Amino acid sequence: MEQIKQWFNRVLANSEALALAGTLLVGLLAILWVGDLLSPVLASIVIAYLLEGIVVKFKSFGLSRKLAVIASFSLFMALFSYMIFGLIPLLSIQTVELAQQLPGMLNQGVDLFLGLPEKYPNFITEDQVKLVFGQVSAEAIKYGQGLLSFSVTSVLNIVALVVYLLLVPMMVFFFLMDKVDIVKWFACFLPSNRRLTTEVWSTVNEQIANYVRGKIWEILIVWAACFIAFSLLGLNYAVLLSFLVGLSVLVPYVGATVVTIPVLFVAYMQWGWGNAFFYLTTVFLIIQALDGYVLVPLLFSEVVNIHPVAIIVAILFFGGAWGFWGVFFAIPLATLVQAVLVAWPSRHDEIET
């Protein structure tokens, strides 16, 4: 109890630590309380932050910030339009088709595994196979119906869709164009003693920029490689499966393992134990190996090393709290926690002072 009291006394006596704690607390509470209401604003801030790297790149070519923002925003709108009118409809179609055919695929799997009791009667029985696949089939049908209902609900929710389509690009443009003025205005509300806060943000900003830039490139490269491989080999649902493989890199150590199951399952249902199945498996494993042992070291050489257990905990915690964006920014948020712990004043710092 005395140690806790001493800790509070040290924190309350340090104005910079109080400023950092207050800033983090206000930001967390704002996200928790009004995050859903202001989700278009938060999404626009994230996108503008990601585009800032492209703006800096254009400025390095000698363009003014205004022209650099216009060029970066034009690229964003081209990609945004492709996703809205090209990629998302195609993904929706393939998702619905796969959900509709999934029960039939599982029935084929049951027929395959029903032959196992005859070959290995001492290890597995026919009733066990039927029980397992009955449960799997029921879960698959439930999730398939969920995907279908989700698609219908998304299509019917026109108001929210229009809000995102109109407001998000507009706010992204203004966040980029008026970045300096917005940052100055926001800084007026921060505590005056914010040296520690600035130090933490400087460290985290560098790490987030490196991580997000590398992660986006990793997603695009893995997605493109898988799409080309799946299309050349003639795999069904190539767009959907390659997209899932690309997104799987967001979850280190786990995503690659999980996404392998649907890829190989669809390949087997399409070709069986033929040469095409083994060709696809070999190519897919080569892509995964190149991603893990070549691409990741090249892209993330400047990112702070965090223990794998800490990464998994961060993904589970932030992903459970904020969904997709929580998973996407799990490692940067873990870096934020690490930077705060490193910069936080300790008794040793006070003794030296």
Query: pLDDT tens for residues 65-77?
Result: 999 999 999 999 9
**Average pLDDT estimate for 22-30:** 66
Given a cut of 90, is residue 4 above it in pLDDT? no
Instruction: Report the predicted TM-score, pTM, of the whole model to 2 decimal places.
Output: 0.68
Task: Tell me the residue type at 166.
Answer: L
Please give the full DSSP string across 149-218, using - where no structure is assigned: HHHHHHHH-HHHHHHHHHHHHHHHHHHHHTHHHHHHHHHTTS-S--HHHHHHHHHHHHHHHHHHHHHHHH
Least confident of 80-84, 114-118, 168-172: 114-118
Judged by average pLDDT, the poorest of 22-36, 39-53, 250-264, 275-289 is 22-36
DSSP letter for each residue of 1-39: -HHHHHHHHHHHH-HHHHHHHHHHHHHHHHHHHHTTTTH
Of the ranges 47-56, 169-178, 249-258, which is most confident?
Answer: 169-178
pLDDT at 239 over 80: yes
CA distance 193 to 179: 23
Share of the chain above pLDDT 90, in %: 16
Tell me the percentage of the chain whose pLDDT exceeds 70: 60
Euclidean distance between CA atoms 234 and 274, whole angstroms = 13
- Averaged pLDDT score across all residues of the chain: 75
For residue 116, pLDDT beyond 50: yes
Q: How confident is the model at residue 156 (pLDDT cuts 50, 70, 90)?
A: very low
Task: State yes or no: pLDDT of 305 exceeds 80.
Answer: no
